[in-house]
Amino acid sequence: MNALPQHVGIIMDGNGRWAARRQLGRVEGHRAGAEAVRRTIRAAREIGLSTLTLYAFSAQNWARPVAEVAHLMELLSTFLRDERDELALRGIRLVTIGDESRLAPPIRDLLDIVKRMTCGNRELTLCLALSYGGREAIVAAARALARAVAGGMDPDAIDAAMFEEMLDTCALPPLELIIRTSGELRLSNFLLWEAAYAELYFTEVPWPDFGRRELDAALAAFAQRRRRFGLTEEPAIRSPAARAGP
Ligand code: FPP
């Protein structure tokens, strides 16, 4: 049995299909999705998770129709305005990853306020991935390292640990579980580097129907997984190559 994952990431998918099944517009699906966000944060806090990252808006989502992007941004603002006191009261710290420079200044200001209000909180870290792309994050890290090399750093000094320090997620615990709702079986540019040893959990449940029960089911599945990190399960005789290594 594994303990609780230190860091859970959720790809919140299926708002549009949830709405279509009810003959509602996509806007209604996203509104119901925002309710699921609130429920899931509350559940994560009750369960005692340390870090929860929600894929709220991808770098690619900017290409959606203007009205849909505006609605998603409006839901984000409403969420931040409505929930800031609750987050502060319940010991939840807000952080973000992604290219915030693309967000409208009023949303950036709101994010700054809520982050500052909650920065001392320790019960749960809520990380919102906003204007986020895993490839974009890797490219930004590569660019930062290239600059350091241009400034004289030895390229051979670059290793995985140094690369990781260049990512927005460097201060978060290792990602151990990724949940994706609504039946699609892919990562869609979410935390690509961080997913290296994360367990993947897919559910048919569309995001607007997600809540405590579904989160518990994902955590129960995680508890049963055999995590090997490239090793064998038995204390096997190590290969000469491994023995020669550090
Ligand atoms: C995917 O559903 C979901 C999104 C693109 C964004 C997630 C947004 C929310 C849950 C709403 C508000 C967020 C916050 C933080 C308050 P989809 O539209 O791609 O669904 P589909 O694949 O069924 O069309």
Percent of the chain whose predicted confidence (pLDDT) is above 90: 91
For residues 79-92, give the mean pLDDT: 97
Residue 77 Cβ contacting ligand 1 at under 6 Å: no
Looking at residue 211, its pLDDT comes to 98
Ligand 1 centroid – CA 14 distance (Å): 7
Is the model's pLDDT at 157 over the cut of 90? yes
In-domain check, residue 213: yes
Domain hosting residue 92, numbered range: 7-133+174-226
Q: Can you tell me the mean pLDDT for 148-157? A: 98
CATH code, domain carrying 220: 3.40.1180.10
- What token pair was written down for 64? 């959606």
Query: 126 forms bridges with which residues in the sheet?
Result: 52, 94
Domain annotation covers residue 157? no
Q: Is 243 a domain residue?
A: no
Residue whose CA lies nearest to ligand 1 atom number 7 = 56
Ligand 1 centre distance from Cα of residue 29 (Å)? 8
Tell me the per-residue pLDDT of 195-242, one tens digit each, with 9 for 90 and over. Answer: 999 999 999 999 999 999 999 999 999 999 988 888 877 655 555 454
pLDDT band at 244 (very low <50, low <70, confident <90, very high): very low
Segment 7-41, tens digit of pLDDT:
999 999 999 999 999 999 999 999 999 999 999 99
Has residue 219 been placed in a domain?
yes
Does the pLDDT value for residue 79 go beyond 60? yes
Is there a domain that residue 98 lies in? Answer: yes
Going by CA atoms, what residue is nearest to atom 10 of ligand 1? 33
In a domain, 142, yes or no: no
Q: Virtual CA dihedral for 76, 53, 36, 133, nearest 10 degrees?
A: 60
Whether residue 235 lies inside any domain: the answer is no
Q: Read out DSSP for 215-239?
A: HHHHHHHHHH----TTS-SS-PPPP
At 54, give phi and psi (nearest 5°). -110, 130
For residues 50-67, average pLDDT: 98
pLDDT digits (tens, 9 = 90+) for 110-140: 999 999 999 999 999 999 999 999 999 999 9
CA distances from 114 to 76, 84, 93 (A): 12, 6, 9
Q: pTM for the full model? A: 0.94
Residue 155 lies in a domain: no
Based on the structure, what is the number of domains in the chain? 1
SS3 87: helix
- CA–centroid distance, 237 to ligand 1, in Å, is 48
